[in-house]
Structure 1
């Protein structure tokens, strides 16, 4: 495993996705390029570009820089980017849909955005890339909860119910928010931490929380991504729910941290604990076993069926390294991981013979 300090601020990076065609990479003297998101910032300040100099050893030649963007009228109205995915020349960023560790849920975290790779490249010479943002105001929370209705989930717990659900409902009513009524008393708070596209164009959302009643990680398909950007009146529509049935357990429930694919509905993923221990997380106050699961890189394939249980294969176990936030497999089959470590963000590369 090779490690590179990315020297990015703020020091909270999440997810990875590959960007740029071979001709764009060659034009800049690179052989690999990834986007990651920095989740202690607004959406427009979240994306960062990680590049590798062509021909350099994989433990050398890396550079990182912020991608400057312009979000127009939505500037400053979002926070907590947690996932990214690329498709057809665009990079999509997804907010967590969650809240702070003590609650309540936050409408500023309920959003999806996209920026074109061409715009990213042009911004490298100065200026800002145009970032389109769709603010959901909990509409994606509603769609995911409706999709999860047929799945037996790990119970929210009394503290989470009060902090995330009841408190959010109360705030919406008290302040007469436009989203009041979108969150219901029986809902589960949703924490999205991974995203990747299926071959059919649906966006898979990997949930860190909730998980199944047996502690298995969940994927939910968002079916109308492009429509959300093209039609201001469109609402999120979620369909298939997938359960990774051999990952996690009742004793050590496991959620998603990152997703990657090279197409054909074959996916690489990072899975791990439900929240970070030692930070007064409400999820862990209700479910202390949610801090037990170690981080792993797993691989699985989704069939064309309408959701259900699938199996996975463990590619790598990270041992004592807990905060593995994303994975991307390059054109040579080497796996790259973004990891939050104390005081810095690290990119680690696992070289396969």
Structure 2
């Protein structure tokens, strides 16, 4: 694989999605362009554009651009962008819905946003529409997972994420008080991509199934959330990657991509980074063991969720912090990776 240092600050990039059609790419002298998000920043500071000079070898000609955005009244009220996906001229960003390593859950991480693709290159700050969900997506995902046997939360996670968050909502009379239930699982979204039917497929790093398999949940009404200020998230189908991860080494989703239809590429990996005092790993040390892999799967159109099988495309060996995947028009896979002290883009040519 070829590697390019992206020289982005802060050094915490997540997910990857393709942007722009052939006309826009040609106008700027590019043949590939991707968006990534920087998860240690507010939503308006999280956007970065990765572009490749037309005709240059894949190991040369890359440039990274920060994209300025204006979130209007929501400026400074969000954090922890973890996923991105593009559809119909928009790029959508999704907050993790999670919390810090030791909790509690954070309302600032409960949001979804969108920006017009064309505004990423027009030279002006892009207008970023932000919907603050106040744990509405946490609620919808937990309701959708009600019939799925999940890896137990664990005593520390229950206290740090669930009980502590409920107490804060009650004590401070938060608008979201009552949205988090004592039986909930904390939700950590790290991947997103659109299905052919327009539903947004959310890849969960945590929770996973009781057998350690990655989970995907469909958000049914993503555009309604922007069109109607009173809309609440609705989640439906739940999918399980039934041959990825295990009880001994549970695996979650890290990145998602589709080249059309319901065929998907995904990166799977550990449940949290080791050595950072993560509460999830304190409860489940085995959650640090899963290796990063690029897998491929297809979702059936005539089934309301269930178990699907995967095909392993690439195993990353000792490389663990693979945060996103996008496969270009020539079939080359591109991965964004958090390395120590920098963010890298790696390109893989495969048949």
Is the shorter-chain TM-score for this pair beyond 0.5, marking a shared fold?
yes
Q: Does 1:10 align with 2:10?
A: yes
Alignment partners' CA distance in 2, 1:187 and 1:168: 11
Deviation for aligned residue 1:263: 1.2
| Structure-2 residue corresponding to 1:187 | 184
| Structure-1 residue corresponding to 2:321 | 323
| Structure-1 residue corresponding to 2:274 | 277
Q: Does 1:218 align with 2:215?
A: yes
Alignment partners' CA distance in 1, 2:260 and 2:21: 15
| Structure-2 residue corresponding to 1:337 | 335
Q: Secondary structure at the match of 2:189?
A: strand
Alignment partners' CA distance in 2, 1:78 and 1:10: 16
Alignment partners' CA distance in 2, 1:242 and 1:150: 12
The correspondence of residues 219-234 of structure 1 with structure 2, limited to 5 A, is 219-234=216-231
Q: Does 1:32 align with 2:29?
A: no
4+ long deviations beyond 4 Å: none
**Ranges in structure 1 where 5+ consecutive residues have no aligned partner:** none
Deviation for aligned residue 1:119: 1.2
Deviation for aligned residue 1:121: 1.9
| Structure-1 residue corresponding to 2:285 | 288
The correspondence of residues 60-99 of structure 1 with structure 2, limited to 5 A, is 60-99=60-99
Alignment partners' CA distance in 1, 2:58 and 2:192: 26
The correspondence of residues 118-197 of structure 1 with structure 2, limited to 5 A, is 118-122=118-122, 125=123, 127-197=124-194
| Structure-2 residue corresponding to 1:300 | 297
What are the superposed Cα offsets for residues 202-242 of structure 1, whole Å, 9 maximum, x if unpaired?
Answer: 00000000000000000000000110000000000000000
Deviation for aligned residue 1:20: 0.4
Give me the TM-score of the superposition, normalised by structure 1: 0.99
Deviation for aligned residue 1:118: 1.2
Deviation for aligned residue 1:79: 0.1
Alignment partners' CA distance in 2, 1:203 and 1:269: 15
| Structure-1 residue corresponding to 2:249 | 252
Alignment partners' CA distance in 1, 2:8 and 2:57: 22
Alignment partners' CA distance in 1, 2:291 and 2:281: 15
Alignment partners' CA distance in 1, 2:119 and 2:28: 15
Alignment partners' CA distance in 1, 2:76 and 2:245: 37
- Alignment root-mean-square deviation, CA: 0.4
Deviation for aligned residue 1:352: 1.8
What are the superposed Cα offsets for residues 17-61 of structure 1, whole Å, 9 maximum, x if unpaired?
Answer: 000010000000000000000000000000100000000000000
| Structure-1 residue corresponding to 2:346 | 348
**Ranges in structure 2 where 5+ consecutive residues have no aligned partner:** none
Count residues with an aligned counterpart: 350
What are the superposed Cα offsets for residues 140-198 of structure 1, whole Å, 9 maximum, x if unpaired?
Answer: 00000000001000000000000000000000001000000000000000000000000
Alignment partners' CA distance in 1, 2:66 and 2:215: 31
1:200 to 182, 197, 200: 197
Alignment partners' CA distance in 1, 2:134 and 2:223: 18
| Structure-1 residue corresponding to 2:108 | 108
